[in-house]
Amino acid sequence: MPLTSRILIKARLTGVACLFLIGMAGSAVAQCGNGPAGFNAWLQRFRLQAASQGIRSGTVLAALSDVTYDPKVIRLDHSQRSFKLSFEQFYARRVNNAMIRHGRALMQRHRGLLDRIEQRFGVPGAVIVAIWGLETNYGANLGAHYSIIRSLATLSYDCRRSAFFTGQLLDALKIVQEGDLTPAQLRGGWAGEIGQTQFLPTPYIKYAVDFDGDGRKDLINSVPDVLASTANFLASHGWQRGAGWQPGSANYGVIAEWNKADVYDRTIAAMADQLTGR
């Protein structure tokens, strides 16, 4: 066979092999589904996807080996309803005098910590403590009824918001891989909220800091890590040191990055005022 013919045949075979490899790589991207029947097959494909994103096999095995579909999470996700409350109605439901007194006591107890956080990140303690109180009543109501990994795997598989929750699940695996929390410790809200100020995994990866110096970013158990990470989120979104936070201000716009609901943002601002005695 002439040399040119052998070269052409080799080139064609190489092209076929490349197409085959591309197809194999594409098959590693997990496809969404509806109902529990396809979940196990989806999970196998997701494991390949996680490996392609740099998640080590030991992490994948530890986090995903016993994961099952959670129909309750799907029911909660699909039954969400929008509601409209005035600021006054929302504030009255969420904040009371006892909560303000408790917040002021915590600000006194953690005065040194909050001063160090403000010095580093520029965010006043009252704003951080207001968020802490609104999210989990200062850590008392973590809502740790759900396995974060199981919830996120279920929501990633479901077609409603598959892409969003797949990113969250991959970042939850990174939290495990980095040694911050074990799969067993990753318990929280049904939609994947973690810890005392309810970080989702992606902002956890981006903004969590180890402020107590123990080598781990623990937003479930470490108050220094919780409060400093919350401040870091706000600072990273443009918080202006020394400025106010009332509606219309630049810092109020930063608070809106924490939560998109205006009544929630106004409640944070008003509660922070109450905590400072304004």
* Number of neighbouring beta carbons within 10 Å of residue 137: 15
Residue type at 92?
A
d(CA 123, CA 111): 13
- Examine the residue annotation and report whether 193 is marked as an active-site residue of this protein: no
**Positive/negative CA dihedral, 249, 250, 255, 257:** positive
Burial class (CB in 10 A: 0-12, 13-18, 19+), 197: buried
8 — phi, psi (to 5°)? -65, -45
Instruction: Considering the candidates 88, 118, 135, 178, report the single residue annotated as catalytic.
Output: 135
Backbone angles phi, psi at 69, to 5 degrees: -70, 140
Q: Tokens 């005695």 appear where?
A: 277
Q: Which residues are catalytic?
A: 135
